[in-house]
Chains A and B, each alone.
Chain A
Amino acid sequence: MIAVYQAIGVLVLGAVVVLLLVGRVSTRPREAAWIGLPFVVVAAALGLQAPQPLSLAVVALCAVGGVGLLLVPVLEAAVPEHVAEAAALLLLGTAGAIGLGGATDLLQAVVGLETLALSAVTLVALGAGERALEAAFKYLVLGAISLAGLLFGLGLVILGTGALTFPTAAQVASNPLTLAGVVLVGMGIAFELALFPFHWGALDAYTAAAPSLAGFVMSASKLAAAFALGRLVLSAGVELGQILVWVGSLTIVWGTFGALAQAADLRRMLAYSAITHAGFIGLALGSGPNGPTTAAFYAAVYGSMAMLVFAALAGQREPRLRALGPMRAVALALGLFSLSGIPPTPGFWAKLAVLVVAWQAAGPLATLIAVAGGVFSVLYYLRPLPDLFAAVRGDEVTGRPVLVPGVLVAALAVVGLGLFPGIAWTLARASGS
């Protein structure tokens, strides 16, 4: 566990260093990114020494934060000012996410969650234009409300058990107050996961934020929330799991229908897609003793593909697919294939893993909903493909084709997870039991 705290410390230190240098680097975002990167690498190395599955959480979150940092230099078009602050907030958000994902008691979870949530809100607000600001404000207010619920639940848990540790199944079964507290805490974390019906603010924020920052917010909050909820479910037993199964299934339905309607708006479609994927994670979390492992695996995979998609879109205020250039168009196509779950991309393996546990523990109806949500997603993910082909041909590209390092790292992660999904799975598993 010490390693996790050290990793958090290193990341916070990195954030402070970047902020101290902000006067110097604010006009030179490339430097901000290069200053931040070593801290992420060190944190990831420290995380490797943590017990499984926490090591997966730390490494995956550091990877997400690192890709976010690599994309800071291309942010300028979408984030006119405060580029350097974005780097500091990415580090701080990663630290908060690790705190939430690695929390051993409820108080740590709350502190981590708030650090992550406030960084996320600020990152969303950095985007250019009033839409981003408005979305960030809504995200903040809704986050505050969910925090209030979470803290109330925390109080109930203390009242019921007299301790801040994750309550056990026996404690939950014996005292309705503890049960109510656990449910409230679970819903508070579900807000970070963006499960329906707590997804409202997240959806708007994901749509309006600058692309690479949106990718970080989506990926990091899902990863951290999946790990934290997984621990809570493992400890508190089936009561919370059943809720998560149904909330997750509903989320899949909601996200799928929502995404289907977004024929013209790629960013909105991707935001809805984040909701749908949250539904898969929620469904997995509730699916028996192997559920949290599957959820952690799914979240790690989701992080890689969301970062890939948004890395490809990075630097664009409004997505103009035909102007992406061949490299980024191929990367985006790979990301969309993976999000929609086309084999042999990692998104497909993750979905299969969820179906297996869902069938075993959550029942046929939830499994069927997940299958339908999974297979019909091709109808919205593959719609932009014709435009991407035009981009590969390079019809309207201005300037030379660039492959941003962030795109490369994310693409390698997706390809690696697609070819060798067993590695991430094994790392996630040691965690659960």
Chain B
Amino acid sequence: MMGLLAWAWVFTLPGLVLTALGVPRDRRYAGYASLAGPVVLLVVAVVALLGGGSSSVAFENWLPFLPDGAYRALADELSALMLAILGFVAAVVYVYSLGYMADDPGKRRFFVYLDLFVASMALLVLAGNLAVLLIGWTGVGISSFLLISFWRDRPGTLSAGLQALAANAVGDGALLLAASIVPTGCGPLVTLSTQQCAAGPGGAELLALLLFIAAAAKSAQGPLYFWLPNAMAGPTPISALIHAATMVAAGVYVLVRTHALLELAPQVSLAIAIIGTATAIAASLASVFQANFKKGIAYSTIAQLGYMFAGVGVGAPFTGLFHLFTHASFKALLFLAAGIVIHGAGGRESLAELRGLGRFFAFSLWGFLIGSLALIGTPLVTAGSFSKDAIIDAALANQPVIGWILLLGVTMTGLYIGRLFGIVYLAPAADQHAVHHDPSAERPMNWSIVPLMLGSIVLGYLGNWLRTVLSGPLGPMEPLPPVPNLTGGLAFTLGALGFVVAVWYVRRPEYAAAPGETSYRADAWVRAIADAGYAASASLSRIQSGVLTRYVFGSVVAVAAILLIRVSLR
């Protein structure tokens, strides 16, 4: 089965072609041709994961100009797990989108982009070397841009998409550089840590640093976080699939895949842990001040990715991956539950307008509650507790300061998710008539999130099994802490405290005048750089004035200068 899985990126392409060609013709069933892709992906990945083993595909000398120019795909337990996550969330999101996008004129285009995304993401996960990784890496970035800017007539969608492109470009650049500078013959991801490959200029540190920059851009870590909140301009199913569960987790995946290289570069590892922790705390704080429902959840994603980075950085890549696994389920659940309310409220997303509306959507209410409890890490009954405690435990053991910060940070988690839950689901409704029920669109949405609810509850129990299965690609690991344990209990108590306080606070009638847009703009510094860049480019292009004499002058002076410098410097 691993042999088949190595070609998993092909699975959604038939759906892509059919949907693009307008099959089926009836507009109501647009997108149905795409549904099989993610389901096949899920089934094949799960069967392959159960079977174990590994399989690789290699076409040597495909790109003869690169240090490693082969096409290499590698399907092992790690990629199978990632593909299973991708298939699971994608299948849910596809079904959900049938309802969410039912009335959208661009439904077909939407599913084509979705198929493109799943194919790129699968290629990213299957990549056996840097060259193939680059294809998938850029592919998911482009699909993300296309989907963020999907509603191209709405204000702000294009600039949000361009922001995502710009942030991704930084990461792409780092990866491009990594693929260009490795010594000849290097490039396979699993052998990057060999002595030969780490011997290039800059050594293992430079290579690890480049991979970290790429990962940070994709996973919105550190200063490169700015694009993710604005990416919420895209449709909600996209926020769930791409900007919560899978693509943004690709950074974590790559760091886990190359963890042997990180072990050779302890300073980079420490930087990963510190940046992850700082991002987790800062993003949690930022989430509390969001006026937009989806942006509040987006900051939560950034924070949780920070936890995963911290786990990888403290030398416990499996804990990061495990949290990625459970997070995919409960964060997708949070987004999709939120999407039901947003859809029912006619696309409005601001907390002030959504205040109290959640109670009219039972599936959404329960989904969001389960997701929130998993996010805080309620022991035994939710998946989040298993994985988050594993990260905190590993951090406490290896970098105690970071461990304590992460532990205390759970309070913030409780605060921000409690605030969102309190405002949308528990507060008295501001305007009941703002809700509009459309059963035919709501049915696929409601039922599609049920698997995610189950996943958010039970997936944590798979931890020790996964640890055994992944001991091949990841090497031997320390056992996970028993559940429940002291750290977990402490973390949950803090989180629950934050949750209750936040719910109490926002339910007070005084709070009814919900928060407006905060004056602090998260992307201010990026905008400043962008404005400076555009100003510089505008003034530079004015030099191209069209005046012939200036052109002549410029050319002649240039030739003279080059000649003088070249001949005199010899």
Query: Which A residues contact B (CB, under 8 angstroms)?
Result: 137-138, 141-142, 145-146, 149, 176, 179-180, 183-184, 187, 191, 197-198, 200-201, 203-204, 239, 242-243, 247, 254, 256-262, 272, 294, 297, 337, 342-344, 348-349, 351-353, 355-356, 358-359, 367-368, 371-372, 374-376, 378-379, 382-383, 385-386, 389, 421-422, 425-426, 429
Contact = CB atoms under 8 A, between A and B. Distances in A.
Contact of B551 (A138, A367, A378): A138
Contact of B109 (A262, A337, A389, A422): A389
Interface string B48-92: 000000000000011111110100000000000000000000000
Contacts of A426: 64
Interface string B536-570: 11101100101010111011101100110011001
B65 A243 contact: no
Nearest to B65: A353
A258 B537 contact: yes
Interface of A is mostly: helix
B135 interface: yes
Contacts of A429: 64
B176 A141 contact: no
B540 A258 contact: yes
25 contacts: A145-B556, A179-B567, A183-B562, A197-B555, A198-B558, A204-B544, A239-B566, A242-B566, A260-B533, A337-B142, A352-B180, A355-B176, A355-B180, A356-B67, A374-B173, A375-B172, A376-B169, A378-B165, A382-B165, A386-B158, A421-B62, A421-B65, A422-B69, A425-B64, A425-B65
A343 B562 contact: no
B408 interface: no
Contacts of B142: 337, 342, 382
B555 A146 contact: yes
Given A204-B546, A426-B64, 19 more contacts: A138-B548, A145-B556, A257-B537, A257-B541, A258-B540, A261-B537, A261-B540, A261-B541, A272-B541, A294-B65, A352-B65, A353-B65, A353-B66, A367-B180, A371-B177, A375-B170, A382-B162, A382-B165, A422-B63
B173 A379 contact: no
Given A257-B540, A258-B541, A386-B149, A355 B177 contact: yes
A183 B563 contact: yes
Contacts of B555: 142, 145-146, 191, 197-198, 200
A406 B169 CA distance: 32
Contact of A356 (B145, B180, B538, B559): B180
A372 B562 CA distance: 25
A142 B562 contact: no
Interface residues of B, number: 55
B165 A180 contact: no
A124 B551 CA distance: 18
B404 interface: no
B537 A260 contact: yes
A175 B563 CA distance: 14
Contacts of A379: 162, 165-166, 169
A127 B562 CA distance: 35
B567 A176 contact: yes
Contacts of B67: 356
Contact of A374 (B139, B176, B567): B176
Contact of B176 (A184, A242, A243, A352): A352
Contact of B566 (A179, A358, A371): A179
B177 A243 contact: no
Contacts of B146: 385
Contacts of A376: 166, 169
Contacts of B180: 352, 355-356, 358-359, 367
Nearest to B163: A379
B138 interface: yes
Interface in B203-242: none
Given A149-B559, A197-B558, A422-B62, A180 B567 contact: yes
B181 interface: yes
A261 B558 CA distance: 24
Contacts of A272: 541
A82 B111 CA distance: 47
A261 B536 CA distance: 9
Contacts of A342: 138, 142
A264 B566 CA distance: 40
What 6 A-B pairs come out closest when comparing CB atoms? A200-B551, A375-B169, A353-B65, A355-B180, A261-B537, A257-B537
Contacts of A243: 562, 566
A208 to B, nearest CB: 10
A242 B551 CA distance: 24
A27 to B, nearest CB: 35
Contacts of A138: 546, 548, 551
B134 interface: yes
B508 interface: no
A375 B536 CA distance: 18
Nearest to B131: A352
B537 A142 contact: no
B314 interface: no
B104 to A, nearest CB: 13
Contacts of B341: none
A81 B391 CA distance: 73
Which among B64, B534, B544 has the greatest number of chain A C-beta atoms within 10 A?
B544
B39 to A, nearest CB: 26
A389 B540 CA distance: 31
Nearest to B555: A198
A337 B540 CA distance: 25
A378 B548 CA distance: 31
Nearest to B145: A382
A293 to B, nearest CB: 8
B27 interface: no
Contacts of B28: none
Given A187-B559, A260-B534, A297 B65 contact: yes
A180 B563 contact: yes
Contacts of B63: 349, 352, 421-422, 425
A260 B142 CA distance: 19
B563 A184 contact: yes
B436 interface: no
Interface in B138-171: 138-139, 142, 145-146, 149, 152, 158, 162, 165-166, 169-170
A179 B177 CA distance: 34
B134 A343 contact: yes
B526 to A, nearest CB: 12
B179 interface: yes
A197 B544 CA distance: 11
B183 to A, nearest CB: 10
B517 to A, nearest CB: 26
A180 B533 CA distance: 37
B541 to A, nearest CB: 4
A126 B555 CA distance: 26
